[in-house]
Amino acid sequence: MTEETGRERAPSERTRVRRYNWLARYDRKTVEDILDATPLAHVGCVMDGVPFVTPTFFWREGDRVYWHGSVAGRMFKALEHQDICFTVSLLDGLVVARSAYNFNCNFRSLMLLGRAELIRDEALKAEKLRNFVNGLIPGEWERLRPIHQREVKVTAMASLSIAEASCKMRVGPPLDDEEDYSFPSWAGVIPIRYQVLPPEPDPRNPPGTEMPEDILKFHLG
């Protein structure tokens, strides 16, 4: 296995893919590509004894991911005291095989494990929130009503290293049992992706409010 395919080595025993391990990737480029393809993660964190899965927006800066919420939110109280799992997944297609058993889906997914850190410094929080906003829409932070200090105060922020990461990716047509390829049912892939539709202006925008070019650049997937 070479560096190039990223199959060479899991960063830890607990991130080593066992099921369908030929789909595994551990290289930095694949990790970053998946993280940069969508702003949506699902964070696993034990609270009151239950492994809650919380859908949350995130952004990446270098070798860490960041997410935000309320300082009163239960997740930001719980996550410093346990290792969490930060999962990102993209559904790329439904794989229609000749046998039910070989049905599958095309996907890209990533699991990050580790101990998250809270960011408490207000200047740093504000700087990171700017990166969050401008990462979604370039230059947007500078166009907005300037942030109030009290808004930064009530915002909680966590970050996690991308060091302990595993990825899985499936692409391409179904893999059927060799003897089934002559079976006459239709096989193939139904591709799925995110679609970004034309922006809908708030009816309360003052007449003549122009839409910045950068709003149109928003994309994901």
Ligand X SMILES: Cc1cc2nc3c(=O)[nH]c(=O)nc-3n(C[C@H](O)[C@H](O)[C@H](O)COP(=O)(O)OP(=O)(O)OC[C@H]3O[C@@H](n4cnc5c(N)ncnc54)[C@H](O)[C@@H]3O)c2cc1C
Which residues form the interface with ligand X (CB under 6 A)? 14-19, 40, 54-57, 67-69, 73-75, 89, 91, 105, 107, 109-111, 166-168
CB of residue 71 vs ligand X: minimum separation in angstroms? 10
CB of residue 7 vs ligand HEM: minimum separation in angstroms? 14
Q: Does 124 bind a second copy (CB under 8 A)?
A: no
DSSP 8-class letter at 95: E
Residue 5 interface partner, choices a second copy, ligand HEM, ligand X, none, CB cut-off 5-8 Å depending on type = none
DSSP 8-class letter at 97: -
Which range of residues in 2-10, 22-30, 58-66, 80-88 is near a second copy by CB under 8 A?
80-88
Please give the full DSSP string across 32-77, using - where no structure is assigned. HHHHHH-SEEEEEEEETTEEEEEEEE-EEETTEEEEEEETT-HHHH
Token readout for 87 is 């999962």
Please give the full DSSP string across 146-180, using - where no structure is assigned. PPPHHHHHTEEEEEEESSSEEEEEE-SS----GGG
Q: Does 1 bind ligand HEM (CB under 6 A)?
A: no
Closer CB to ligand X, 65 or 98, in the complex:
65
CB of residue 193 vs ligand X: minimum separation in angstroms? 13
Q: Specify whether the CB–CB gap between 11 and 19 falls below 8 A.
A: no
Closer CB to ligand HEM, 10 or 23, in the complex:
23
CB of residue 192 vs a second copy: minimum separation in angstroms? 6
Q: Does 220 bind a second copy (CB under 8 A)?
A: yes
Q: Specify whether the CB–CB gap between 78 and 48 falls below 8 A.
A: no
